[in-house]
Structure 1
Amino acid sequence: MQLVVFILAYPLLWLISRLPFRILYLISDVVYQLLYHLIGYRKKVVRNNLKLVFPEKSDEERQLIEKKFYKHLCDIFLEMAKTLGISTKQMNKRYVFTNVEVLKKLESEGKNTMIMMPHYASWEWVFSLNSQLNSKAYAIYQAIQNKYFDKLVRDIRSKYGTTLIRTNESRKIIKDAKASGDLITVGIISDQSPMLNRTRHWAKFMNITVPIHVGGEELCKVHDIIPIYLKVKKLKRGHYQGTFKVLAEKPTEVEGYKISEAFLKEVEKSVYEAPEYYFWTHKRWKHKDKAPKEFQNKANPNVNQKAI
């Protein structure tokens, strides 16, 4: 059945990837009408999230954010398909990095880096960054259940030379890459909710105490990798701007989970700036009432680096 679904869907994805952008966004407008007004995809989740995060806003203000979000959601998924057919030259015009020299300087110093980013604006086109760097690029991702679509996503995201690695194999691969002497850049999306039984730390996100992903920070500390936040702005349809900010110059000396918390603070700034570009369909705050008492008001415990 997985193969049948893939065979039926792939020709459509291929066709979308060959369409001009003006046609692509006309299709996106139609998809938005169906997804939002007819199907109502995860509308209840989105509304609950927006009300939780922006209680001070009126219903009308939250509804405006909601509609803008669904329009953006349709755009980014069609843009993902478009990656199959877009040229490197066109991609570099549409996704611009304002200060890539930050990474190049660290490369020249022989330092490995980790690009930490949220599900915000566009995370699919970030992979074009690899065409501007000399280090070996890896991206940690969650595998898709359909193995044929999983391979397609891997092919799309590795178009610019990035090697995709599943979450459960990331520690070994990064360790081996470091041992071989490779200079590496690792990409990771760290803003969503981890499994509760694997949670090692809780922190405030949008002023709500939630379990947070800390694997990226732990990898940085164990392997002395420089954590860098990628702030992405959507300038207009199909045009994005990325800016890098070093979260810690000496990650091994940072106490507790302060890198992960600093990352979340940067995500918050982006969300407050333009909330319609955050991925509101995820149940990010589903465990908000389950925080252990020690995490509600106390400082962070130290990282146990032996856990890696």
Structure 2
Amino acid sequence: MQLVVYILVYPLLWLISRLPFKILYLISDGVFALLYNVVGYRKKVVRNNLSLALPEKSEEERLLIEKKFYKHFCDMFLEMIKTLGITNKQMKQRYVFTNVEVFQKLEDEGKHIMIMMPHYASWEWVFSLNSMVRSKAYAIYQPIQNKYFDKLVRDIRSKYGTTLIKTYESRDIIAKAKETNELITVGIISDQSPMLQRARHWAKFMGVLVPIHVGAEELCKSHGMIPVYLKVKKVGRGYYEATFKVLAENPSEIADYEISEAFMKETEKAIREAPEYYFWTHKRWKHMGKAPKEFQQKSDKAVNA
């Protein structure tokens, strides 16, 4: 059945990927009307998240953010498909790295790099970075249940040479790179909520105490990788600017969890600047109110200080 669905859908995806951007965004507008006005995809989750994370906004302001988010959500989905047919020239014009020299300097120093990103603006086109750097690139991802579409997504994201890996594979790959002196870069999206039973640290995110992922920080500390936050700004429909910010030059000297908290703070800054580009469909705050007493007490002390 999975193969049948793939065979039926793939030709349409291929056709869409060859369309001019003007037509692509006309299709996106149609998908938005269907998704938002008819299907109402995860609308309750989005509204709850916006109300929780942006309580200072009026209901009318949050509704406007909600609509803008769904339009961006549809754009990004079509842009991911467009990756199949986008040219290198188009990519360089539409996804600009403003300070790639920061990244290249770390490579010149022989540093392994951990790119930490949130689900914000666009992460699908970050893979074009490979055309500007020397290090071998890996990206940690979650497989899709349909193995045929999973392969398609991996093909799309590996167009510029990135190798997609599962979370459990990352430690061995990084360790092997150190042994063979192969310069590598690992990309990870770190803003989702970890499984409650695996949560090792809690911190405030958008004013709410939640568990946060610390795996990227732990890899940096144990393998001497440099954590780099990638801030992506949407500057127009289908146009983005990506800026690197080093979170720690010597991660082993940084107190535990400070790198992870710094990443979440940078993510929060981006959201407050333009909240419509964050992925509000995720149940990011689903573990709210479940923090162990030690973290709750620490949070209360910080508020009262």
Normalising by structure 1, we get a TM-score of 0.96
Q: Residue 95 in 1 paired to residue 103 in 2?
A: no
1:219 CA drift (Å) = 0.3
The residue number in structure 2 matching 1:273 is 273
* 1:146-200 superposed Cα distances (whole Å, 9 cap, x missing partner): 1111111111000001111011211112211222111011110000101111111
Amino acid at match of 2:105: K
SS of the equivalent of 2:298 reads coil
1:6 CA drift (Å) = 1.0
Structure 1: 4+ residue segments shifted above 2 A: none
The residue number in structure 1 matching 2:77 is 77
1:298 CA drift (Å) = 2.4
Q: Residue 121 in 1 paired to residue 118 in 2?
A: no
- The equivalences for 1:101-116 within 5 A come to 101-116=101-116
Amino acid at match of 2:129: L
Q: Residue 47 in 1 paired to residue 47 in 2?
A: yes
SS of the equivalent of 2:287 reads coil
* 1:216-235 superposed Cα distances (whole Å, 9 cap, x missing partner): 00000000000000000000
The residue number in structure 2 matching 1:172 is 172
Amino acid at match of 1:106: L
Q: Which moved more, 1:168-177 or 1:193-202?
A: 168-177
SS of the equivalent of 1:139 reads strand
**CA–CA distance in 2 between the matches of 1:179 and 1:9?**
43
**CA–CA distance in 2 between the matches of 1:108 and 1:173?**
21
**CA–CA distance in 2 between the matches of 1:168 and 1:186?**
13
The residue number in structure 1 matching 2:241 is 241
The residue number in structure 1 matching 2:3 is 3
* 1:28-52 superposed Cα distances (whole Å, 9 cap, x missing partner): 0000000000000000000000000
1:297 CA drift (Å) = 3.5
Q: Which moved more, 1:192-201 or 1:241-250?
A: 192-201
Amino acid at match of 1:15: L
**CA–CA distance in 1 between the matches of 2:59 and 2:281?**
18
**CA–CA distance in 1 between the matches of 2:155 and 2:175?**
24
Q: Which moved more, 1:170-179 or 1:237-246?
A: 170-179
The residue number in structure 1 matching 2:58 is 58
The residue number in structure 2 matching 1:283 is 283
Unmatched 5+ stretches in structure 2: 300-305
**CA–CA distance in 2 between the matches of 1:223 and 1:173?**
11
The residue number in structure 2 matching 1:130 is 130
SS of the equivalent of 1:144 reads coil
Amino acid at match of 2:263: F
1:75 CA drift (Å) = 0.1
The residue number in structure 2 matching 1:305 is none
Unmatched 5+ stretches in structure 1: 300-308
1:118 CA drift (Å) = 0.2
**CA–CA distance in 2 between the matches of 1:297 and 1:96?**
43
Amino acid at match of 1:288: M
**CA–CA distance in 1 between the matches of 2:81 and 2:178?**
33
SS of the equivalent of 2:130 reads helix
**CA–CA distance in 1 between the matches of 2:213 and 2:121?**
20
1:275 CA drift (Å) = 0.2
Aligned residues: 299
Amino acid at match of 1:188: I
The residue number in structure 1 matching 2:303 is none
SS of the equivalent of 1:229 reads strand
**CA–CA distance in 2 between the matches of 1:52 and 1:41?**
19
- The equivalences for 1:82-231 within 5 A come to 82-231=82-231
**CA–CA distance in 2 between the matches of 1:210 and 1:63?**
24
**CA–CA distance in 2 between the matches of 1:47 and 1:67?**
11
**CA–CA distance in 2 between the matches of 1:3 and 1:296?**
48
